Amino acid sequence: MADLVALWEVALSDGVHKIEFEHGTTSGKRVVYVDGKEVIKRDWMFKLVGKETFVVGATKTKATINIDAISGFAYEYTLEINGKSLKKYLENRSKTTNTWLLNLDGIDSRIGEFVEDGTETHFTIGNHDCCIKGVSSGKRREGIIHTLIMDGQEIPEIVE
């Protein structure tokens, strides 16, 4: 990866994904890797600016790398997720997700859940029984209240 020019880590509903971009500004080569796997490879692109669009994760989330010339032979690389800049996407995501950080049996675990109505999601981490409950607050402006329960005990939420 001698021509690696950009690296992003993007948290989606199915986990954190690593996106790497190689851009050969003399050869015109463009290579996109998602989680270490090559998803796009183009050799000898005559146009050094433009876009590369691909999908990320099990949810096949649309991602686009924008390649723009900023001066001379300098380039700027920006990532869009679902048509929004990465910054805007993360701001919107933080409004629709709840995240918990746990250290279980010496392993750091991050749990997030996307929900729009009342749900109960059961899963295990190691030997621990976990459940995310999503229930209506009964108030239109407050929406859904989410609670993480591990081994029968409520885990406090962090604010990022």
pLDDT at 118: 59
- Closest listed residue to residue 75, CA positions, set 10, 24, 7: 24
Instruction: Give phi and psi for 26, each to the nearest 5.
Output: -95, -35
53, two tokens: 């669009």
CATH numbers and ranges of domains, the chain: 4-82 (2.40.128.180), 95-155 (2.40.128.180)
- Spell out the residues 6+ positions from residue 110 whose beta carbon is closer than 8 angstroms to its own: 16, 99, 100, 101, 102
Rg of the chain over CA atoms, in angstroms? 20
Task: Taking residues 15-24, report their average pLDDT.
Answer: 90
pLDDT classification of 112: cutoffs 50, 70, 90: low
Alpha carbon distance 79, 56 (integer Å): 12
Cβ atoms of 14 and 55 closer than 8 Å = no
Dump pLDDT digits (tens) for 120-136.
Answer: 776 778 888 888 887 77
Query: How many Cα atoms within 13 Å fall on the side-chain side of residue 49?
Result: 9
Task: Taking residues 11-34, report their average pLDDT.
Answer: 87
Say yes or no to pLDDT of 113 above 70: no
Alpha carbon distance 30, 3 (integer Å): 9
108, two tokens: 């750091």
Q: Percent of the chain, pLDDT > 70?
A: 86
68, two tokens: 């723009």
Q: What is the mean pLDDT of the chain?
A: 83
pLDDT at 116: 46
Dump pLDDT digits (tens) for 46-71.
Answer: 888 899 999 998 778 999 999 999 98
**89 vs 122: which has the higher pLDDT:** 89
- Closest listed residue to residue 51, CA positions, set 61, 34, 65, 62: 65
Dump pLDDT digits (tens) for 145-157.
Answer: 888 888 888 898 8
Cβ atoms of 129 and 151 closer than 8 Å = yes
**11 vs 13: which has the higher pLDDT:** 11
